[in-house]
Amino acid sequence: MNEPSVRLTSSEMASPEAAPTEAAHPEASADRAWSYETAAVQTGIARGLGQTIGFPVHAAAAFQFSTLEEAQEEFQTNAGLSYARIQNPTVRALEGRITALEGGTETVALASGQAATLTAILSVCRAGDHVVATSSLFGGSTGLLTNVLPLMGIETTLVSGGPDAVRAALRPQTRLVWAEMISNPSGDVADLAALANLAHAGGALLAIDNTCGGAGYLCAPLAHGADLVAQSLTKWAGGHGSVMGGAVTVGASHDLRRNPIYTDGGDASLLALRGVGALAWRQRWLGASQMGMTLAPHSAFLIAQGLETLALRLGRESATALALAQWLSAHPRVGAVSYAGLEDHPSFPLVGRYLPRGAGAVLTFEVQDPSAFLARVQVLRIAPNLGDVRTLVVHPWTTTHGRIPEAARRAAGVNPGTIRMSVGVEDLADLKADIEQAL
Ligand SMILES: *Cc1c(COP(=O)(O)O)cnc(C)c1O
């Protein structure tokens, strides 16, 4: 992964044991026996005299060797540390924690959710390949799929509707099916088992954007057939609107035998040389080593700290969101309310199957005069973010979805009167009182 090994020739990849595998996180397999709440605070924290409680921040661009031979060994194997664009101990510790929380085998942490999405797609697609994505996507993902990836010869079909629509869009060159665990803002829940089955039948992998699934807390898609999870750590993982990051996590059972990126070259192919570690190896090589979308160590520290309280925050936020959705549904001054935890939402049955801890912290509702409503809020804050400890609202029609064609906006559940709310940890009664006076 260092400069001598970026050309991807067989001799340079001839150390399968050097692939970043679980060995980099020896505690991860033990951690999977822990509950989410325990793993979130215990994973990766060393024990012993003078050890820090929490991850130390390694503010370093490079790491030392004591001999020429040590440096040569590292440049051949990439097993350890050399240059922080590729790996940093603080970032690595965060990766181990996310791997444990998502139930994966390896995580690559990157500078943003966008970096994670791009890296995940490019890890299995190249020019001539095809992606099928469900249409109710985060705007940045739609942008990458429809504006950026075509520059590299990768085509995307956006489908609206469930697994049947995805099946109809599959082609022989389809390498990836992409969906959001809980879509924003419409709240559609991915039918993981159905999507995994048809992706795998078509020789493709299933990637889930688990941002709204809260880093594995509401749902860990890898346990339900997904092959990889990408997410923005900017939202619930960081949790305080103070840091940006993203991650790609791979599961153990993905099958790359039908993807030429991994099989070209026969005995010298990526798959032959790196085995089950090939996918994460390529993600680190692409996202961090080559494209330089590296997560800063201070950001990794803040995100790791955020993960320690994610279960407390998102559990409470999800309960508050349900209470608010029920209250708003019965409110005479409020139009349609969309929240997957409400029985009238099309995804309600999937909530029972995949989201036992709640349907998440995001809901939308329709008001008569969104401009007047937003001008009056005093607790709610107007900001285009999700997963903050503070309740945030936006008017998607004029902001987050403002550039999308009108019909597509409406199809995504965004109307001129729609308010999107990401519920924070404030007291329910205070939130209700603020909304009431603003209505
Ligand atoms: C925010 C978000 C992203 C992009 O993450 P950034 O950290 O902003 O780059 C991707 N997917 C979803 C669902 C998001 O909400």
The residue whose CA has the least distance to atom 8 of ligand 1 is 113
Grouping H, G, I as helix, E, B as strand and the rest as coil, residue 197 is: helix
The CA 248 to ligand 1 mean position distance, Å, reads 12
Question: DSSP secondary-structure letter at 285?
Answer: I
Where in the sequence of the chain do the CATH 3.40.640.10 domains occur?
Answer: 11-306
The residue whose CA has the least distance to atom 7 of ligand 1 is 113
The CA 144 to ligand 1 mean position distance, Å, reads 12
Beta pairing, strands 334-338 & 362-367: antiparallel
The CA 137 to ligand 1 mean position distance, Å, reads 10
Atom of ligand 1 nearest to the CA of 235: 1
- Mutation test of ligand 1: which of 231, 234, 386, 399 has the most ligand atoms closer than 8 Å to its C-beta? 234
Cα torsion through 239, 382, 230, 62, rounded to 10 = -60
The CA 386 to ligand 1 mean position distance, Å, reads 9
Where in the sequence of the chain do the CATH 3.90.1150.10 domains occur?
Answer: 313-438
Closest residue by Cα to residue 154 from 169, 165, 144, 163? 144
CATH number of 313-438: 3.90.1150.10
The whole-angstrom separation of Cα 166 and Cα 40 is: 34
Residue with tokens 């024990």: 47
Residue with tokens 């797609």: 121
Rounded mean pLDDT for each run of 10 residues along the chain, 439 residues in total: 34 32 39 83 93 93 95 87 93 97 97 98 98 89 94 95 91 97 92 96 97 96 97 98 97 92 92 93 96 98 98 98 98 96 96 96 97 97 96 94 83 90 98 97
Grouping H, G, I as helix, E, B as strand and the rest as coil, residue 334 is: strand
The whole-angstrom separation of Cα 20 and Cα 93 is: 13
Assign domain 11-306 to a CATH class: alpha beta
What are 275-278's contacts with CB under 8 Å, separation 24+? 275/16, 275/19, 276/21, 276/105, 276/252, 277/16, 277/19, 277/20, 277/21, 277/106, 278/19
Structure confidence at residue 19 (pLDDT):
34
SS3 content of the chain, % helix, strand, coil (to 5): 40, 15, 45
What residues have CB less than 8 Å from 235, skipping those under 6 apart? Answer: 113, 211, 212, 385, 386, 387
The CA 303 to ligand 1 mean position distance, Å, reads 15
The residues lining ligand 1, judged by C-beta closer than 6 Å to any ligand atom, are: 112-114, 138, 140-141, 180, 184, 209, 211-212, 232, 234-235, 244, 246, 386
Amino acid (one-letter) located at 174: T
Atom of ligand 1 nearest to the CA of 115: 9
Atom of ligand 1 nearest to the CA of 180: 13
Phi, psi (rounded to 5 degrees) for 59: -80, 85
The CA 207 to ligand 1 mean position distance, Å, reads 15
Distance between the two ends of the chain, CA-based, in angstroms? Answer: 56
Closest residue by Cα to residue 338 from 322, 352, 319, 349? 322
Task: Record the pTM.
Answer: 0.91
Structure confidence at residue 219 (pLDDT):
96
Structure confidence at residue 5 (pLDDT):
34
The residue whose CA has the least distance to atom 1 of ligand 1 is 232
- Please check whether residue 374 is in contact with residue 381, taking contact to mean a CB–CB distance below 8 angstroms: no
The whole-angstrom separation of Cα 197 and Cα 55 is: 39
- Please check whether residue 220 is in contact with residue 212, taking contact to mean a CB–CB distance below 8 angstroms: no
H helices, E strands: number in the chain: 16, 12
Grouping H, G, I as helix, E, B as strand and the rest as coil, residue 421 is: strand
The CA 208 to ligand 1 mean position distance, Å, reads 12
The CA 436 to ligand 1 mean position distance, Å, reads 30
Atom of ligand 1 nearest to the CA of 114: 9
